[in-house]
Amino acid sequence: MAPTVPLITDIAQLDPSQRYTYADYLSWKFTDVVELIRGRVLRRMAGPARAHQRCSMNFSRLVDTFLLGKTCQVFAAPFDVRLTTGGANGNQQIRTVVQPDLCVVCEPAKLDARGCLGAPDWIIEIVSPGTAIHDTRTKFDLYAENGVAEYWIVYPGEQSIAVFVLQAGEYQAVGEYYEPGLVPSHTLPELALQWADVFAGV
């Protein structure tokens, strides 16, 4: 008789030294929002601050309005993005699942009932005090490695946006915006957001 697999109902039951897969992730029965980074479980910090939420809502509204009637779609966390660098896409092979604050997906084939399988075209992460290293180092490298073409890092406290575009497998800084004016998207060339609209109410 096969051994009984214990039901995971609390994140404390997970072994932080173990590597997990998306198949494991789907079996967990707790409410904590977690990410898998190369098989390691990363628990998201406490709920985002008001400034973070305001920025997220502003981005969602502005980008979604622009995309009405277009192929690309924008999604906000919680939204499973399963990153894979190739090979079989079965749940047992997927070891990285992230929850970007916002992402834009322009290939409908990447979307399924569970979220996005493969790299979104554009990811926006809004930095909170507890996520700065994660967003600017861990995810920076991870997104480049997996082919996310455009990455924005947003700092609500400083009201600034750093824009990076993937070139030859590495991110190149193409702009930093910290005062009123247009912030152009490279993924969506017809879209340029007003800095003031992004940080309205922050």
Pick the more confident residue, 44 or 173: 173
Give the count of domains, the chain.
2
User: Same structural domain for residues 31 and 104?
Assistant: no
In a domain, 37, yes or no: yes
d(CA 200, CA 202): 6
Q: What pLDDT, on the 0 to 100 scale, is given for residue 3? A: 55
Evaluate if residue 155 carries a pLDDT over 90. Answer: yes
In a domain, 6, yes or no: no
User: Same structural domain for residues 84 and 115?
Assistant: yes
Give burial (CB, 10 Å; 0-12/13-18/19+) of 128.
buried
Q: What pLDDT, on the 0 to 100 scale, is given for residue 84? A: 79
Residue with tokens 């910290």: 178
Q: What pLDDT, on the 0 to 100 scale, is given for residue 125? A: 97
The whole domain housing 70 covers 50-198
d(CA 52, CA 72): 24
Strand 170-177 vs strand 160-167: parallel, antiparallel, or unpaired?
antiparallel
In a domain, 78, yes or no: yes
d(CA 125, CA 46): 16
Q: What pLDDT, on the 0 to 100 scale, is given for residue 45? A: 57
User: Same structural domain for residues 86 and 34?
Assistant: no
Percent of the chain with pLDDT over 90: 76
pLDDT-derived band at 193 (thresholds 50, 70, 90) equals very high
Closest CA to 171 of 146, 195, 150, 201: 150
User: Same structural domain for residues 39 and 58?
Assistant: no
On average, the pLDDT of the chain sits at 91
User: Same structural domain for residues 60 and 33?
Assistant: no
Q: What pLDDT, on the 0 to 100 scale, is given for residue 91? A: 83
